[in-house]
Each structure stands twice: as structure tokens, then as C-alpha cells.
Amino acid sequence: MKKIIIAIDGPSGSGKSTTAREVAKKLNYLYIDTGAMYRAVTLAWIKSGNEFSNETICEIIKNIKIELKITDEGQKTFLNGSDVSFDIRKPDVTKWVSPVSAIDCVRTAMVEMQRNIGKDGGIVMDGRDIGTVVFPNADLKIFLVASIEERAKRRQKELSQSGIHLSFEEVMAQLETRDIYDSSRANSPLKKAADAILLDTSSLTIEEQTDKVVNLALKIINQ
Ligand code: DC
């Protein structure tokens, strides 16, 4: 059976990771969360104690090893051999990840890794630039959106499940800041690819949004 590449892009909290994970499970595909890679770079820089500058971060990029391992519990992210899956979700990383991911050398290195991981197909990759830059020829491109209120509600719940308690207003402000950064950066900004299918998940259940993507994928696979 044909093994396709599915690109899922959209802003934070639009439902990308949940949808991508569930779609991958149903199709027996590999799910790759590319945001985790940018978070791992950000964590490496924070741990280095260096000031924020393109030069420092580009130097760090040359000397770190980021690995994604697929386990029964999902994707685990490793930085220089240590499991950092929990640490990359901490508020400090979330605060800095947008500026770090706007740096050219960071994007070049991550995009190369992502292309390598996905080149044989059978993959669902989520991020901001998967359909526009990483895999512009992806077989299926989905661009997820949702209202800011709904996205903040989801993000707040997700954070509280991992022990991080922030007010609704704080989460919403963080999302808005990140939206502006991610959509206005010069290098591969968050934007819908012309041939991506727009899906508003504001009033959809996880099951509904997963089914919509799986059905679109099956049509292409069985073509
Ligand atoms: O999906 P996430 O919230 O974990 O992503 C964290 C940040 O990483 C996001 O604010 C922008 C950046 N990112 C990116 O620039 N390109 C991607 N393909 C994925 C994430």
C-alpha cells in the first residue's frame, strides 16, 4: 500500500499534535512532532547560560545531538542522550522557543533532520512549515485553525495535566505573542500552503477532526 506524507500545520493549540498522533495511530504511520525539536534547541541554549544571540545559538546547534525516539508512550525527545521530553514543555522554553526558532541556522538544521526522517513516507508530521517548506510536495496538507479562546482553553488544560498551572489570561497572552512571532518571522513563517485543506477545529471533537483527516488520507492512499 502507498505510504504517503501527511503535513499538519497550524498555530499553537489548534489541535495539531492530538490530531496528528491519532491519525498516525489509525494509519499505522509514524507521528513526528517538530515543535519538540525547536524546543530541544531552546532548552540547550537556556542550559548553556549564554545570552540570546544568533551567533551563540548557531554555535550551540553545531555541538548538540537531538534525537526523537518512538516509544509505546509516544515520541520522546532526547538532547545529548538525555530524555528531555518533560523539560521542553516548561514555561521558560515556551517563552523563548519562538525567537530561537526564527533563527536561520536553527531552521536549516531542523528542516534537514525532518526531511530525513520523513523521506520514505508513512509519516504524519506536525509543525508550522511542514506543508510550505519541509515537504512542499506532501501528498496531503492540512492547516488547522481554532478560535483563540478555544486554543487557550485546550493549552491551559494540557499544561495543568503536566503540573503547570497558569491563568486563562496568561495562557491566552502567551498564545497571542507566539502567534505574532511565528507568523511574522522572515524565514518560513506560519502560513497556510496554497494547496492545504483548512480545517477549523473550534467545535469539533478529537474524533471528528481525526476522522476527517483519515478519510482524506485514505482517499489518496487508495487512489
Ligand atoms: O508546536 P509547539 O508549540 O511545540 O512549537 C513550539 C515552537 O516551535 C513554535 O512556537 C514555533 C516553532 N516551530 C516552528 O517554527 N516550526 C515548526 N515546524 C514547529 C515548531
The Å distance, Cα 159 to ligand 1 centre, comes to 16
Q: According to the model, what pLDDT value does residue 74 have?
A: 85
| pLDDT given for residue 163 in this prediction | 87
pLDDT at 161: 87
pLDDT at 186: 93
* CATH number of the domain to which 139 belongs: 3.40.50.300
The answer as to whether 61 is a domain residue is: yes
Predicted pLDDT of residue 111: 98
Ligand 1: does its nearest atom lie under 6 Å from the Cβ of 94? no
How many domains is the chain partitioned into structurally? Answer: 1
Does residue 83 lie in a domain region?
Answer: yes
Whether 213 maps to a domain, the answer reads no
C-beta 151 within 6 A of ligand 1: no
How high is the pLDDT of residue 72? 83
Cα–Cα distance measured from residue 136 to residue 121, given in angstroms and rounded to the nearest whole number: 13
Q: Ligand 1 mean position to 35 CA, how many Å?
A: 4
DSSP character string of the chain? ----EEEEE-STTSSHHHHHHHHHHHHT-EEEETHHHHHHHHHHHHHHTPPP-HHHHHHHHHT--EEEEEETTEEEEEETTEE-TTGGGSHHHHHHHHHHHTSHHHHHHHHHHHHHHHTTS-EEEEESSIIIII-TT-SEEEEEE--HHHHHHHHHHHHHHTT----HHHHHHHHHHHHHHHHH-SSS-S---TTPEEEE-TT--HHHHHHHHHHHHHHHHT-
pLDDT of residue 91: 87
Domain that holds residue 113: 5-206
pLDDT, mean of each 10-residue run, the chain (223 residues): 95 92 96 97 98 97 94 91 95 94 97 96 97 98 96 92 90 93 92 97 95 98 93
Q: Is the pTM of this model over 0.85?
A: yes
> 217 in a domain, yes or no?
no
